[in-house]
Amino acid sequence: MAYDLVVRGGQVLDGSGLPRFRADVGVIGERIARVGKISERGHREIDAEGLVVTPGFIDGHTHMDAQINWDPLCTSSCHQGVTTVVMGNCGFTLAPSRAENRGWVVRNLERAEDISAEAMAQGIEWGWQTFPEYLDFVDRLPKGLNQSVYVGHSALRTWAMGERAFEAEASADELAAMTQQLRAGVEAGAMGLSTSRSRSHETSDDRPVASRVGAFEEVAALVRTLGELGKGIFEIALGGRTPEELEALAVETRVPMTFGVGAAGGMAWREQLALLDRTAERGGRMIGQTHSRGVTPLLSFEAGLPFDKLPTWRPFRALPLAEQERLLRTDPELRARLVHAAHHEEYPRAVSAEPRRPKWDRVEVRTGPFPPYPNLAALSAEQGRDPMEVMIDLALATPRLSQLFVQTGAPFPDEELLTVLKHPRTVMTFSDSGAHVSQISDCSIHTYLLAYWVRERGAFTLEEAIRMITMTPAAAFGFHDRGLLRQGFAADLNVIDPGAIIPETPRVTTDLPGGAKRFVQGAAGIQATVVNGQVLMEAGVHTGALPGRLLRQ
């Protein structure tokens, strides 16, 4: 038998959770042809001696919808061993989109994605209106990773209602137009329907995103469409009074539902876990999406600070970074004004992951890949100095003022997070990659799980953790030929060093259309990532291959 690729001599963790075993993995075309002893040479070979071979990692909660138009690799997920991403979460999609209403579609996305309308105008070549046309467009795009996408409720509303989507409930005719487009999208292969009821999801002009304006009865009608079709998942960013209504709707329609556990929604995480169990007991199905460390904004002079929009800080932050550094070192009067303003000037209202007025005990100094980190309140007390002064001096001690600070929200202690991660109805898959791009960098939740929870804490075996990020999300999201290293399955796989795998420090780049900033992040300890039988990444470097596929459901 002639193999296109042979991964030779590694310890195979096949994604099932069963113990590892030594074997070769042979690939023909896009499929795994054999897992076992292979005597024949492959056209391409990867030496996995001393390493572990796993299925590719699956990320079920991303916002790559705009990014795929100018970044075929889906940076930085491609560096973290991810081979499949699900886009279009929280109601944010670029389709359906009438030509005359594209501005309203972009308005839904730009604040949550943290990508300006100007950047999207430069980076997106609109070639679709209906959702089936959009899927065909995504299918044609060159891509490094496999991609699947929901139909977004906010886009459905602007399709049917124009600007009224941000102001009013839908009429019967408008709801019928939404239902028709949802049906067409799901029949063409969309993942299902997504929406947001979260108060933190707002437009750039401080209005609720369109999905939040619709009545829950509108949401229910759309979910019932999925039930009638007998296919599709319903994803929701929780908010308002939806938990009890969701439970009843899940039981009525039998449509699988999913949401982020611990995310905004008015329910504590224990209540959310109880909702998962209660729904299952009544015959419905809910899947909780979890994070391996908790979503936290990153702050730096290089990227962005909570003070940037304050009147005293705004002209200072408009200066080149080198000039900011010079003034902080040489102009004590200006520095004193900046410190005073950070404490006393009025901050603009922030939503979602946007930086907000600091609580100094929750601004931590990122000193390495894992917490605990020292916080500025504690350092201020130890040094007898203002916390803002401490922050400035820590930044001045690094090149280009690049010291990273982590702005935490409500504490999520490790032991509580571990309870969420171990719950049988949760999936560790909530990276938000592609969103909040200058504020967070959570593409690395998979490598963090392996480095921190497996190697550092010993909370999971490697077999358990690999199952959590391969077979479990594949089953949850309906990727029935992925997530396992088995003959006949898609050849998505990683070759990793479990003793060395670790997320690297996020860094700032200016590679968005128009030169806007975002965080990117690499990882160490991944020797190779294979997508559909082709080597995509080798030792963290792109090979030039673009083997990703649109995965229609």
**164-194: per-residue pLDDT in tens?**
999 999 999 999 999 999 999 999 999 999 9
The pLDDT, as a whole number, for residue 263 is 61
Q: Which residue in this structure is represented by tokens 């729904």?
A: 279
Structure tokens at 445: 């939740």
Does residue 456 surpass a pLDDT of 90? yes
Burial of 318 (0-12, 13-18, 19+ CB in 10 A): exposed
Dump the DSSP string for 219-282. Answer: HHHHHHHHHHHT--EEEEE--TTHHHHHHHHHHHH---EEEETTSSSSS-HHHHHHHHHHHHHT
Average pLDDT over residues 399-416: 89
Give the residues across from 146 on adjacent strands. Answer: 84
List the single range of 71-75, 171-175, 295-299 with lowest mean pLDDT.
Answer: 295-299
pLDDT at 50: 98
Per-chain mean pLDDT for the chain = 95
> Is residue 268 predicted with pLDDT exceeding 90?
no
Mean pLDDT (whole number) for 536-549:
98
Is the per-residue pLDDT at 265 higher than 60?
A: no
Task: Give residue 199's pLDDT band: very low, low, confident or very high (50, 70, 90).
Answer: confident
In angstroms, the CA 204 to CA 198 distance is 15
**Which tokens sit at 175?**
């709801």
Residue 543 to residue 541: CA distance in whole angstroms: 6
Helix (H, G, I), strand (E, B), or coil: what is residue 332?
helix
Domains in the chain: ranges and CATH: 1-87+411-544 (2.30.40.10), 298-407 (no CATH)
Q: Is the pLDDT of residue 352 over 80?
A: no
The DSSP code sequence of 387-449 is HHHHHHHHHHTSGGG---EEE--S---HHHHHHHHH-TTEEE----BTSSTTT---TTHHHHI
Q: What is the pLDDT of residue 115?
A: 87
**CA atoms of 542 and 280, how far apart (whole Å):** 43
The dihedrals phi and psi of 220, each to the nearest 5 degrees, come to: -60, -40
Residues 6+ apart with CB under 8 A from 172: none
413: pLDDT strictly greater than 90: no
Mean of the pLDDT values across residues 198-226?
93
What mean pLDDT is predicted for residues 212-225? 96
% of the chain surpassing 90 pLDDT? 88
Length of the chain: 553
Amino acid at 141: L
Longest CA pairwise span in the chain (Å): 76
Q: What is the pLDDT of residue 240?
A: 72
Q: pLDDT tier at 334 (50, 70, 90 boundaries)? A: very high
Mean pLDDT of 202-211: 89
Q: Which residues contact 297 (CB under 8 A, 6 or more apart)?
A: 353, 354, 355, 406, 407, 436, 439, 440
**Stated pTM of the model:** 0.96
Angle at 94 between CA 432 and CA 536, to 5 degrees: 55
3-state secondary structure of 505: coil
Residue 6 to residue 20: CA distance in whole angstroms: 18
pLDDT value, residue 531: 99
Mean pLDDT across 111-131: 91
Tokens of 22: 């030594």
**pLDDT at position 113 over 90:** no
The stretch 61-82 carries a mean pLDDT of 97
The model's pLDDT over 502-532, given as tens digits with 9 standing for 90+, comes to 999 999 999 999 999 999 999 999 999 999 9
Q: Identify the pLDDT of residue 353.
A: 63
Q: How far apart are CA 297 and CA 402, in angstroms?
A: 15
Task: Determine the Cα–Cα distance for residues 174 and 179; give it in Å rounded to an integer.
Answer: 9
Q: Which of 262-271, 377-386, 407-416, 524-533 has the lowest mean pLDDT?
A: 262-271
Burial annotation 455-468 (CB, 10 A radius, 16+ → b, else e): beeebbebbebbbb
Q: Rounded to whole angstroms, how far apart are CA atoms 341 and 346? A: 9
pLDDT above 70 covers what percent of the chain? 98
